[in-house]
């Protein structure tokens, strides 16, 4: 990576088993996952000036996306344009949109290339994962490598965010058997400092808008690692939406986080930018510098990417070359473009890492907790960073 703003420092391979054991004791037991090495031994060090620009860019884009989501709110034609499932429209219109951060637990995904150029790929504002990797594993790995970390405030800011929302229950699908999701909600609950109960979404029942866990305990405020768009697909999804509409259940992140989650919002931002409406001159400068042209149709003359408005972990992503031909497609994640509309985004480059695992490309995640940029998440994989990509710690020089 000569001349790159990233420096890779790998650990000796013979130390891996001991480090994996120590990471498990810290609360990150899936460094090795089903006989696969999910964690890459080592740390990637980002140039300090690039990180400071990234942090500033995140703050500016957070304000841009928040303003756009509020502009869309209660405009059903724009709900449709940004792919919001119709079953959620009443819920979004009837529940007051938060005055503070619409999402208190979110993660940006950026493409930062070897020269330090920063471009936003998407915002995961509803149910981002990778929290344990960023808040628990990364600081420890950085200390082991003698590298500075910017992730140290994550538990503090997470506690502040949850202190505002005060859920009484934390849920995920297959709690107790799905190692990553179960470990994630347990760490979130622990860092929150609240007295909360962890439950399985599949054990929940809803009776006339009242949500109960498997033991019949009524749930009033819930954080769920459950994507809100799946209410349009899952049996009982409309009942869950009704529970929120009627005020029997408060969700965290709140319902309006789906407005930020939709990749259709990026197309809305770009369309409003091209029309010259809504944004200040400073906001327009941030959009031009850090966002990629994104549309609801494939109108590009050069290379581009298509992806579902609610695609996750690389699922549904397709890369097209300069001639408009399909170059590669994700084969591992679930292709949600069968259920939700697609957006088309100008293609950009990820930094390349020459590792002992081969040549990989680095995706740079940045958590936004309680509205503040606060923690880096590195993931390394192929041209498409999907659910078979690896976690690698990101530190800052």
How far is it, in rounded angstroms, from Cα 269 to Cα 284? 10
Q: Would the CA dihedral through 194, 195, 200, 203 be positive or negative?
A: negative
Query: In percent, how much of the chain has pLDDT > 70?
Result: 97
Percent of all residues in the chain with a pLDDT value above 90, rounded to a whole number: 87
**What pTM did the predictor assign?**
0.95
Q: How far apart are CA 113 and CA 348, in angstroms?
A: 9
| Predicted local distance difference test score (pLDDT) of residue 388 | 77
Q: List pLDDT tens digits, range 251-276.
A: 999 999 999 999 999 999 999 999 99
C-alpha distance from residue 29 to each of 137, 187, 234 (Å) = 10, 12, 30
User: 221's torsion region: left (phi>0), alpha (psi -120 to 50) or beta?
Assistant: beta
Alpha-carbon span 124 to 103, nearest angstrom = 10
pLDDT in tens, 140-175: 999 999 999 999 999 999 999 999 999 999 999 999
Q: Of all helices (H) and strands (E), which one includes residue 123?
A: strand 118-124
Say what the pLDDT of residue 1 is.
Answer: 56
**What backbone torsions phi and psi does residue 210 show, to the nearest 5 degrees?**
-100, 125
- Residue 313 pLDDT class (50, 70, 90 cuts): low
Alpha carbon distance 115, 238 (integer Å): 47
For 333, list phi and psi in degrees, rounded to 5. Answer: -80, 165
The secondary structure of 292-323 as a DSSP string is: --EESS---SS-EEEEETT--TTTT-EEE-TT
Task: List the one residue out of 77, 68, 88, 64 whose CA is nearest residue 258.
Answer: 88
Neighbours of 285 (CB within 10 A): 12
Q: Is residue 315 pLDDT above 70, yes or no?
A: no
Helix (H) or strand (E) holding 369: strand 358-369
Cross-strand partners of 210 = 207
Q: Which residues does residue 206 pair with via DSSP β-bridges, in sequence order?
A: 211
Reported as a single tens digit per residue, the pLDDT across 82-123 is 999 999 999 999 999 999 999 999 999 999 999 999 999 999
Q: Are 179 and 206 in contact (CB under 8 A)?
A: no
**Full DSSP string of 38-72:** -EEEEEEEEPHHHHHHHHHHHHHHHHHHHHHHHHH
Cβ-based neighbours of 384, under 8 Å, separated by 6 or more? 314, 317, 319, 328, 329, 330
| Residue whose C-alpha is closest to residue 58's, from 11, 110, 18 | 110
Q: To the nearest 10°, report the CA torsion of 143, 21, 185, 84.
A: 80
**Greatest alpha-carbon span in the chain:** 62
pLDDT reported for residue 47? 98
Distance CA(234)–CA(367), nearest Å, equals 28
């Amino acid at each position: 990576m000569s001349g790159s703003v990233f420096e890779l420092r790998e650990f000796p391979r013979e130390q891996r088993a001991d480090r994996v054991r120590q990471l498990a004791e810290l609360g990150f037991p899936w460094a090795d996952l089903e006989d696969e090495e999910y964690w890459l031994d080592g740390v990637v060090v980002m140039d300090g000036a690039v990180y400071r620009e990234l942090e500033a860019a995140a703050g500016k884009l957070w304000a841009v996306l928040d303003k756009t989501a509020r502009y869309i709110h209660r405009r059903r034609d724009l709900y449709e344009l940004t792919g919001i499932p119709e079953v959620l429209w009443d819920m979004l219109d009837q529940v007051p949109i938060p005055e503070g951060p619409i999402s208190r637990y979110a993660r940006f995904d950026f493409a930062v290339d070897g020269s330090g150029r920063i471009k936003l790929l998407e915002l995961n504002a509803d149910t981002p994962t990778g929290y344990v990797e960023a808040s628990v594993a990364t600081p420890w790995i950085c200390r082991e490598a003698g590298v500075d970390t910017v992730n140290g405030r994550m538990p503090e800011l997470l506690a502040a965010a949850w202190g505002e929302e005060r859920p009484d229950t934390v849920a995920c699908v297959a709690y107790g058997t799905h190692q990553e999701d179960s470990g994630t909600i347990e760490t979130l609950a622990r860092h929150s400092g609240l007295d909360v109960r962890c439950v399985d979404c599949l054990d929940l029942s809803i009776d006339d808008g009242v949500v109960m866990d498997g033991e019949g305990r009524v749930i009033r405020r819930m954080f769920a690692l459950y994507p809100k768009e799946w209410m349009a697909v899952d049996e009982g999804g409309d009942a869950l939406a009704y529970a929120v509409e009627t005020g029997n259940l408060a969700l965290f992140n709140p319902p309006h986080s789906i407005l930020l989650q939709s990749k259709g919002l990026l197309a809305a931002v770009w369309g409003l930018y091209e029309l010259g409406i809504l944004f200040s001159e400073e906001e327009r400068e941030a959009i031009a510098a850090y966002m990629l042209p994104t549309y609801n149709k494939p109108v590009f003359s050069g290379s581009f990417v298509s992806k579902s408005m609610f695609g996750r972990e690389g699922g549904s992503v397709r890369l097209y070359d300069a001639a408009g031909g399909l170059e590669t497609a994700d084969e591992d994640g679930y292709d949600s473009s069968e259920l939700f509309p697609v957006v088309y985004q100008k293609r950009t480059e990820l930094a390349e890492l020459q590792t002992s695992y081969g040549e990989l490309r680095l995706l740079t995640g940045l958590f936004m907790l309680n509205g503040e940029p606060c923690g880096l998440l590195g993931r390394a994989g192929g041209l498409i960073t999907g659910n078979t990509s690896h976690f690698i710690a990101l530190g800052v020089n």
